[in-house]
Amino acid sequence: MKRFYTLFSLLVVFGLLLSACGGGAKSHMESIKAVGVIKVGTSADYPPFEFVDASGNKTGFDIDLMTEIAKRLNLKLEWVDMPFDSLIAGVQEGKIDASISAFNYSEERDKVVDFSDQYYLGEDAFMVAEGFAGTIAKPEDVTAYKIGVQTGTTQDGWLTDNLVTPGKMPEGNLFRYDRADQAALDLKNGRIDVMFADLIPAEALAKQVGGLKIAYKDVLSSGPMNIVIPEGDKELAQAINDVLKQLQSEGFIDGLAVKYFAGE
């Protein structure tokens, strides 16, 4: 009887230890809630989606949207400003909990991260200097020029896959930039002939930099914009998607579009 009691006691202790080890592990969302902070990455160089204002504060469509999402999740928002092409890796490696930076869904990105539901549908644009003497009647017409693009964007991928790789454009004519505003300045100063970007940020940069205009627009590489979250993180995805649905039904996102895209 004593031996049975001792064995039973050991089994109970062992079971408690297993329970403690297994039950103590928190999900990503539970860890975020426990700390009360969600760390979100962005590349604040893409107006009007994300940029730094004259007072040094981050602002823009994405910034306001994510701020409201965090508020409704009862979380403090901690921004992490990173180069655009580092944001996906930042989510993968756990340096940030999520990222919002005018991201478009792509099959390549979907292999390593997951996405929220879409919150905005975008177009692409080829931007030129106001004195541009050429003609861009179709996308392939840009192959004759030096083209600037932000590294890691879907526009970068489109130019590579559709023009450079098939041999329609020399790779030496493609200039990649860490920041979109750097490309816009080089465009204005004649170092490149064309800049390829999302339409809305391109229009904003044209006003901001001056002397630039949209020469062609279409849905080429862009499309629905989504928030990037860790691969397989269904709990965080559900939490963000639930808030996005609320904001869409309330007209909050439409209000942001009017605020940032209509020049109000």
Do 67 and 188 belong together in one domain?
Answer: no
Do 51 and 109 belong together in one domain?
Answer: yes
Give the C-alpha separation, 119 to 115, whole Å. 11
Give the C-alpha separation, 64 to 50, whole Å. 9
For residue 116, tell me if it sits in a domain.
yes
Question: Which residue type is seen at 165?
Answer: T
pLDDT tens digits, one per residue of 75-122: 999 999 999 999 999 999 999 999 999 998 888 899 999 999 999 987
Whether 98 contacts 236, CB under 8 Å: yes
Q: What is the DSSP string of 142-194?
A: GGGS-EEEETTSHHHHHHIIIIITTTSS-GGGEEEESSHHHHHHHHHTTS-SE
For residue 183, tell me if it sits in a domain.
yes
Do 110 and 36 belong together in one domain?
Answer: yes
For residue 7, tell me if it sits in a domain.
no
The kind and range of the H/E element at 102 are none
Residue 205, judged by CB atoms within 10 A of its CB (0-12, 13-18, 19+), counts as buried
Do 69 and 197 belong together in one domain?
Answer: no
Q: What CATH number is given to the structural domain containing 88?
A: 3.40.190.10
Residue range of the domain that includes 179: 124-218
Burial 39-58 (b: 16+ CB within 10 A, else e): bbbbbbbbbbbbbeeeeeeb
Whether 28 contacts 92, CB under 8 Å: no
For residue 242, tell me if it sits in a domain.
yes
Give the C-alpha separation, 218 to 155, whole Å. 12
pLDDT tens digits, one per residue of 182-211: 999 999 999 999 999 988 888 888 998 999
Q: List the pLDDT tens digit at each of the 264 positions of the chain.
A: 434 345 444 444 444 444 445 456 789 999 999 999 999 999 999 888 999 999 999 999 999 999 999 999 999 999 999 999 999 999 999 999 999 999 988 888 999 999 999 999 878 999 999 999 999 999 999 999 999 999 988 899 999 999 999 999 999 999 999 988 999 999 999 999 999 998 888 888 899 899 999 999 999 987 789 999 999 999 999 999 999 999 999 999 989 987 887 544
Identify the CA nearest to 85 among candidates 42, 38, 39, 40: 42
> What phi, psi does 48 have (nearest 5°)?
-95, 15
For residue 174, tell me if it sits in a domain.
yes
The gap from C-alpha 59 to its chain's centroid, in whole angstroms, comes to 15
Do 110 and 237 belong together in one domain?
Answer: yes
The kind and range of the H/E element at 111 are none
Do 53 and 114 belong together in one domain?
Answer: yes
Number of domains in the chain: 2
Give the C-alpha separation, 195 to 193, whole Å. 7
- Give the N- to C-terminal CA distance of the chain in Å, as an integer: 83
For residue 23, tell me if it sits in a domain.
no
Do 32 and 66 belong together in one domain?
Answer: yes
For residue 22, tell me if it sits in a domain.
no
Give the C-alpha separation, 90 to 83, whole Å. 10
Do 196 and 209 belong together in one domain?
Answer: yes
Do 232 and 155 belong together in one domain?
Answer: no
Domain end, chosen from 187, 202, 218, is at 218
For residue 14, tell me if it sits in a domain.
no
Do 89 and 212 belong together in one domain?
Answer: no
Do 235 and 207 belong together in one domain?
Answer: no
Do 42 and 171 belong together in one domain?
Answer: no
